């Protein structure tokens, strides 16, 4: 049976700052999907990661189905209304447009989708991250799919020997989606040359080169450039199919033990380590640290199994301690150097005005004995 998984996320309001949506708001989204989606979808799962609500739907209507996108949009929209009534912070934050126009892309919420022939034991992972952007997945996906130091299946499982095809987007290009396809293992240096720049070149999807089947889908957008002003980070979701021609679950999880440094954290303007957290975790210190949750499912005839919270395990407590130490280390240098994002990535217009103002006050000091305006040699 050909099934579609649609995973969308939005921040539609949060308690006490950018912390968590709260049970009433979660209830509003679940109730709406259950009521309005009855005849459209096969199953659904609603969760939150920090202040972002993630809606996972299974259905048979294919990728970019307008009725599915509208269902998600309307669910977020009605929850935003509820958030306004509750007086929550940032009500409707990620709903950048007021009208739905056939596809949720470009309207604010993040979305990734996959359509595939369901395997008899179809297993997949749903990732949701807060206080960061889609480039946060570049390194873990690269390591899990191309590096035998992380994915032992690349040398043990013949069905993976051919490698994977990466579709990478240049998110700084605002005039349409500018993408490139590159194959591992032959082009891993080219893939790495792009993926080192998390703010510009971002994985959108990955396919198996053995079966042609989709393996990874990320909610990659050029949104923060389109919006042109601070609207929060594009806190990203991702789905990864696992086992068989794809990496094993544990191979996909392995790179998340690094707690690599990503963009985001306080005011979307800093650098912090990505902490793997339990599902439905909140945000705390310095509006962070950046967090990622992962829930494993099987799906059969479009019905989702019960969720398995894969970062809810003693191993990840140890990792969380390590990541906390990394977060404290980088925060110790405050605004200085690599602890904050570069000028182009700061998500606040205020600093642009401040720099323009300061720029006017600079003067070029004359050098004694040299005519003005000539460079001293």
Structure-token match 């294919």, residue found: 62
Q: Residue 132, Cα to own-chain centre: how many angstroms?
A: 7
DSSP type of residue 129 = E
Given 82, 204, 235, 347, the residue binding Mg ion (CB under 5 A): 235
What ranges in 87-170 are assigned the alpha helix state H? 138-146, 153-156
Q: Least distance to ligand 13P from the beta carbon of 244, Å?
A: 35
Q: Does 347 bind Mg ion (CB under 5 A)?
A: no
> What would the 3-class secondary structure string for 7-69 be?
EEEECCCEECCCCECCHHHHHHHHHHHHHHCCCCCCEEEEEEECCEEEEEEEECCCCCCHHHH
Q: Of 244-283, which residues contact ligand 13P (CB under 6 A)?
A: 266-268
Contact 197, 145 (CB under 8 A): no
Given 90, 106, 185, 307, the residue binding Mg ion (CB under 5 A): 90
Q: Does 233 bind ligand 13P (CB under 6 A)?
A: yes
Given 122, 133, 204, 235, the residue binding ligand 13P (CB under 6 A): 235
Given 3, 80, 287, 320, the residue binding ligand 13P (CB under 6 A): 287
* Burial tier of 319 (Cβ tally within 10 Å: 0-12, 13-18, 19+): middle
Report in angstroms the alpha-carbon separations of 121 from 59, 239, 300, 303. 17, 16, 7, 12
20 binds, among ligand 13P, Mg ion, none (CB under 5 to 8 A by kind): none
Q: Least distance to Mg ion from the beta carbon of 276, Å?
A: 16
Binding mask 9-28 for ligand 13P (x = CB under 6 A): --x------x----------
Catalytic residues: 11, 230, 233
273 binds, among ligand 13P, Mg ion, none (CB under 5 to 8 A by kind): none
> What are the strands, taking DSSP E only, across 255-304?
261-264, 270-273, 275-277, 291-300, 303-304
Count of residues that interact with ligand 13P, criterion CB under 6 A: 14
Given 9, 18, 209, 320, the residue binding Mg ion (CB under 5 A): 18
Q: Does 133 bind ligand 13P (CB under 6 A)?
A: no
Q: How many angstroms separate the CA atoms of 58 and 324, rounded?
A: 35
Binding positions for ligand 13P, rule: CB under 6 A? 11, 18, 50-51, 93, 130-131, 232-233, 235, 266-268, 287
């Amino acid at each position: 049976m050909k099934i579609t998984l649609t995973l969308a996320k939005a921040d539609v309001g949060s308690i006490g700052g950018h912390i968590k949506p709260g049970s009433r708001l979660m209830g509003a989204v679940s109730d709406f999907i259950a009521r309005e989606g009855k005849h459209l979808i096969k199953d659904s799962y609603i969760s939150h990661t920090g202040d972002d609500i993630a809606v996972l739907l299974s259905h048979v209507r294919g990728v970019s189905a307008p009725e599915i996108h509208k269902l998600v949009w309307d669910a977020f929209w009605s929850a935003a209304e509820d958030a306004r009534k509750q007086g929550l912070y940032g009500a409707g934050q990620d709903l950048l447009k007021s009208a739905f126009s056939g596809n949720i892309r470009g309207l604010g919420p993040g979305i990734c989708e996959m359509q595939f022939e369901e395997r008899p034991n179809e297993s997949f992972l749903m990732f949701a991250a807060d206080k960061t952007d889609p480039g946060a997945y570049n390194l873990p996906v690269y390591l899990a799919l191309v590096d035998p130091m992380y994915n032992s299946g690349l040398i043990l499982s013949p069905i993976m020997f051919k490698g994977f095809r990466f579709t990478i987007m240049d998110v700084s290009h605002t005039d349409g989606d500018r993408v490139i396809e590159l194959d591992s293992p032959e082009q891993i240096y080219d893939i790495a040359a792009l993926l080192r720049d998390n703010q510009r070149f971002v994985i959108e999807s990955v396919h198996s080169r053995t079966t042609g089947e989709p393996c990874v889908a990320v909610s990659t957008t050029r949104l923060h450039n389109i919006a042109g002003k601070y609207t929060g980070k594009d806190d990203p979701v991702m789905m990864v199919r696992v086992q068989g021609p794809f990496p094993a679950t544990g191979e996909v999880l392995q790179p998340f033990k690094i707690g690599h440094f990503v963009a985001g954290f306080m005011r979307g303007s800093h650098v912090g380590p990505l902490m793997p957290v339990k599902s439905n975790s909140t945000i705390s210190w310095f509006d962070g640290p950046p967090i990622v949750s992962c829930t494993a499912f099987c799906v059969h005839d479009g019905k989702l199994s019960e969720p398995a919270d894969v970062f809810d395990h003693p191993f990840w407590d140890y990792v969380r301690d390590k990541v906390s130490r990394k977060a404290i280390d980088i925060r110790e240098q405050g605004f200085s150097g690599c602890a904050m994002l570069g000028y182009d990535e700061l998500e606040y217009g205020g600093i642009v005005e401040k720099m323009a103002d300061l720029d006017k006050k600079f003067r070029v000091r004359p050098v004694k004995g040299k005519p003005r305006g000539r460079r001293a040699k």
